[in-house]
Amino acid sequence: MPELKTVGLFLVTALAEIVGCYLPYLWLREGKTIWLLVPGVLSLAVFAWLLTLHPTAAGRVYAAYGGVYIFMAILWLWAVDGIRPSTWDLLGSAVALIGMAIIMFGPRST
């Protein structure tokens, strides 16, 4: 099922981006070691590479990816930051995922 593969790829891509941004955050805001920048940069490189694996136009991929990123950021809020998402967080994530599905899987004229 190509739709499931696409969503899975988006989820892994979002995780790579979030980790790549979170590690410098830990260095800059939490006073952790500067060496966190090394895996952070590698994670962002993986993120960029993963975006290239989608077989559709880059602009469409970036637009749809944003919806999955929102969903993953809310999961990160819960799993890593320890903050339970509000009903509005969950509703916003659902709307974002619906938007992603419309953009990626809606019918197209050829």
DSSP one-letter code for 53:
T
pTM value is 0.87
Nearest in space to 22 (alpha carbons), one of 63, 62, 81: 81
Cα 52 to Cα 47: distance, rounded to the nearest angstrom: 9
> What's the CA gap between 8 and 93, in Å, rounded?
16
Our separate counts of H helices and E strands in the chain read 4, 0
User: What's the CA gap between 106 and 68, in Å, rounded?
Assistant: 16
Question: What are 92-102's pLDDT values in tens digits?
Answer: 999 999 999 99
Model pLDDT for residues 67-108, shown as the tens digit of each residue: 999 999 999 999 999 999 999 999 999 999 999 999 989 898
